[in-house]
Chain A
Amino acid sequence: MIYFDAAATTFQKPPAVRRAVVRAMETMSSPGRGNYQSAALAAETLYACREEISALFGLEDPENVVFTSNATHALNIAIHSLVPPGGRVVISGYEHNAVTRPLHAIPNLRIHVVNTPLFDQTAMVQGFRELVTEGTDAVICTHVSNVFGYILPVSEIARLCRERGVPLIVDASQSAGSVPIHMGELGADFVAMPGHKGLYGPQGTGILLCASAGKPLLCGGTGSNSKEQSMPDFLPDRMEAGTHNMPGVAGLLEGIRFVRRVGVEAIGHHGWQLKEQLRRGLAGDRRFRVFGTEEPHLQAGVLSLVPTETDSETFCQAMAEAGFALRGGFHCAPYAHQTAGTFAGGTVRFSVSAFNTGGEVESFLQRLRQ
């Protein structure tokens, strides 16, 4: 099988990730719960991962790295921390259900959506400028659309938020590991991301980068302040109730080391090249409507297609039978389809990782030509 669904999860991982997961299961118990060797090794690994994450994302203090079970969990913490019932939020028109469903669960919330065309960053910044006003509780913006690979202008949106004193949550689910992110320069309040996509960790890992402590989503044991019945008021303990996923974190540590060794920009450029190879290969093919741009600052390694002769799910089923893993449908992002005009049938999504090759893309193109 040739795997083109890295935007859901990266299937191929560096070999060191698998080895670290197994080693953790054999040697590590609960971090921060004891002085004995297995607990100390777990704590050491957990902290090493916090340090590696801090170095990758320009975070000064490893205590501001919170481990979660996935990006959805991280986004729920961030939203729970900043958005009150009856509040007001401004979001981009490309948000995932991991953002929009938690928002819709908040009573009497006013949700303002910046609906601007694909790959038009200027229009998007202008849209946020018009809607982000004093009294806005939070702005939430994905960094890269999980459907279209569109790179949103988060630096400009962050600057606008800082000028107007409005907190910002960035969903870095599709950008972490392939588009540079510097928490210090961005000035966001929270940046959420999965560990199992562009950071090449195992499923069940996620990260929330915090500028300051928010509200806990879960309450429970932390190994600190144990006599008290309220959650600690300091990071990361305030947001990390319960035992950590140590096999996951140990694997994630090796995944992030891989990303830092290869380089975020190199991985991002590789993904863009493969996406461009497919986009150019489909140019003029009337069987597909292709949503792409050649501009590297506007699109990452994700390309959406709409087949004109069949629907997206039937197309993906046929491709699966031919040995190609692609995703059809709505990609849990109905807002993005409404914004881009693909709400009726969704899209076929092609997405790549550092492990995909030009030969694989050429095989896919040859299959399409048959």
Chain B
Amino acid sequence: MNHHLIVCRSVTQAQRAGRLLTSFGITNQVFRSPAGLTERGCSYSVRVRSEQLDRAMGILRHHQINPVKVAAL
């Protein structure tokens, strides 16, 4: 099963994003991003199934949560 990482600026933003997606029925997991994924250093990501990425991003944008980037796993 393919997954994408929604990279967030902080653990707090990732937690907020994760809880929001859960409330919309999107299964996700919050954890530390792989090293080197962002140029700025440590960050947290929300992992979602690739087929749910577009819906997840739409929900986050609607709630003014703007991730740093999205990366395929």
Q: Which residues of A are interface residues toward B (Cβ below 8 A)? A: 31-32, 34-35, 43-44, 46-47, 50-51, 61-63, 222-228, 232, 234-237
Q: In the bound complex, do residue B11 and residue A234 qualify as a contact, i.e. CB atoms below 8 Å apart?
A: no
Bound: A83/B62 CA distance, A: 35
Q: Which 3 residue pairs are nearest across A and B when measured between Cβ atoms? A: A226-B41, A227-B41, A32-B11
Chain A nearest CB, measured from B51 CB (Å): 25
Number of chain B residues close to chain A: CB under 8 A: 16
B4 within 8 A of A: no
Given contacts A34-B32, A35-B31, A35-B32, contact A236 B41 (CB under 8 A): no
Chain A nearest CB, measured from B68 CB (Å): 10
Q: In the bound complex, do residue B13 and residue A63 qualify as a contact, i.e. CB atoms below 8 Å apart?
A: yes
Q: With a CB–CB cut-off of 8 A, which chain A residues contact B15?
A: 43-44, 47
B9 within 8 A of A: yes
A/B interface sample: 27 pairs, CB < 8 A: A31-B11, A32-B12, A34-B32, A43-B11, A43-B15, A44-B15, A47-B19, A50-B12, A51-B19, A61-B16, A62-B16, A63-B10, A223-B10, A224-B9, A224-B10, A224-B11, A224-B41, A224-B43, A226-B41, A227-B39, A228-B40, A228-B41, A232-B9, A234-B9, A234-B13, A237-B9, A237-B12
Chain B nearest CB, measured from A30 CB (Å): 11
Bound: A357/B64 CA distance, A: 46
Q: In the bound complex, do residue A63 and residue B16 qualify as a contact, i.e. CB atoms below 8 Å apart?
A: yes
Bound: A43/B19 CA distance, A: 13
Q: Which residue of A is nearest B8, CB measured?
A: A224
Bound: A51/B39 CA distance, A: 30
Q: Which residue of B is nearest A51, CB measured?
A: B19
Instruction: Find B10's partner among A34, A228, A234 (CB 8 Å cutoff).
Output: A234
Map CB proximity to A onto B26-50 as digits: 1 under 8 Å, 0 otherwise: 0000011000000111111000000
Bound: A62/B11 CA distance, A: 12
Q: Which residue of B is nearest A65, CB measured?
A: B12
Bound: A232/B19 CA distance, A: 23
Chain B nearest CB, measured from A336 CB (Å): 36
Q: With a CB–CB cut-off of 8 A, which chain A residues contact B11?
A: 31-32, 43, 47, 223-224
Q: With a CB–CB cut-off of 8 A, which chain B residues contact A35?
A: 31-32
Q: In the bound complex, do residue B42 and residue A226 qualify as a contact, i.e. CB atoms below 8 Å apart?
A: yes
Q: In the bound complex, do residue A225 and residue B42 qualify as a contact, i.e. CB atoms below 8 Å apart?
A: yes
Chain B nearest CB, measured from A221 CB (Å): 9
Chain B nearest CB, measured from A222 CB (Å): 8
